[in-house]
Amino acid sequence: MKASAPGKIFLFGEHAVVYGKRALVTAINLRCFATVKKRSDFRISSSLGITGLDYEKHPYISYAIRRFTEFKKINGADIEIESQIPIASGLGSSSAVTVSVLKALDAEYEAGLTNEEIYEIAKKVELDVQGIASGTDPFISTYGGCWLIPERKPVKIGNIYFLVIDTGIKSITGDMVKKVAELRREFQEIVDGIMDVIDKITVAAIPNLDKMDLTSISKLMFINQALLNAIGVSTKTIDEIVAELNSMGIAAKLTGAGGGGCVIGVGEIDMLTKATERFKSAFFVKSEKEGARIEELEKE
């Protein structure tokens, strides 16, 4: 069986969400595909290599298998991964691989898992591997769509193209979350104040996403990036990309944990297209309605 699940971007509110504030997160039209076939031992094949159960090289897939066997005992599986989502860049590739593997395992071995169960297992896998996680990524990857987190309120979003520029630098979520926590320990009132403002930005963005009011969204993105910068999760590379996009009339911010990863930009489509000529690593994404799904297997 072949299944797929989408990646995601934080539109607004990353880091603030760690402190109970709201964030807007959407699934994107880049997917991870997992093909699972019955086999007597475990074989995992991806762009990272071919292994058996391997908690170093394929941690998310290996833990996904281990967690799946708590529901259905299996002695082997052939798992092949093809992903359109860049790895470790804050676009949710780990969750997409976990959710797509669980969905394909469920279908191949007829375990009868609901999407909510797949989400719950994927959340556990994220914790198994990372030790700490908010569960946002597996939620978006399982259900698709655009959501207000932590309320889990669906948010309407127009047909907006987001420019994505990968800095090519790994974004380590745990390190960035820790960095903000340290700043907050020293200056709690100030950092809490910033988080409150980010929460207001997130809420202000909701009606504008539906109306596709690019001017207002741009202004809100600009303020959000300035505040992410203030809490120390932006970098020189990110700042340079953001400044250059700003000079082209494109509002931009980091997406996800920061420290590397990706920058997203919003603006008129001809400006965005111009930016793809300037930045080699630039590409477009849009919001994706569909979450985890079964794919037709090509005839062999």
CB under 6 A: which stretch of 69-77, 105-113, 170-178, 243-251 binds ligand PMV? 170-178
137 tagged catalytic: yes
Selected from 14, 128, 199, 288, the binder of ligand PMV by CB under 6 A is 14
Query: Residue 257, interface with ligand PMV (CB under 6 A)?
Result: yes
Selected from 1, 17, 36, 97, the binder of ligand PMV by CB under 6 A is 17
CB of 165 to ligand PMV, least distance (A): 15
Query: Residue 171, interface with ligand PMV (CB under 6 A)?
Result: yes
**For residue 69, what are the CA distances in angstroms to 17, 121, 162?**
32, 11, 38
Which CB sits closer to ligand PMV, 176 or 250?
176
Selected from 134, 216, 237, 281, the binder of ligand PMV by CB under 6 A is 134
Which CB sits closer to ligand PMV, 177 or 250?
177
CB of 297 to ligand PMV, least distance (A): 30
Given 106, 128, 137, 199, the catalytic residue: 137
| CB contact burial 29-63 (16+ within 10 A = b; e otherwise) | bbbbbbbbeeeeebbbbbeeeebebeeeebbbbbb
Contacts of range 208-216, beta carbons closer than 8 Å, 24 or more positions apart: 209/11, 209/24, 209/146, 209/155, 209/156, 209/157, 209/158, 209/160, 210/155, 210/156, 210/157, 210/158, 211/158, 212/158, 212/159, 212/160, 214/160, 214/266, 214/267, 214/268
CB of 173 to ligand PMV, least distance (A): 4
Torsion sign (Cα): 161, 163, 166, 171: negative
x-or-dash pattern for ligand PMV, window 74-93, by CB under 6 A? ----------------x-x-
Which CB sits closer to ligand PMV, 83 or 173?
173
Distance, in Å, from the CA atom of 262 to the CA atom of 93, rounded to the nearest integer, reads 13
Selected from 86, 144, 145, 256, the binder of ligand PMV by CB under 6 A is 256
Query: Residue 291, interface with ligand PMV (CB under 6 A)?
Result: no
CB of 64 to ligand PMV, least distance (A): 18
CB under 6 A: which stretch of 44-52, 65-73, 218-226, 254-262 binds ligand PMV? 254-262
Q: Which residues bind ligand PMV (CB under 6 A)?
A: 10, 14-15, 17-18, 90, 92, 133-134, 136-137, 171, 173, 176-177, 256-257, 261
Active site residues: 137
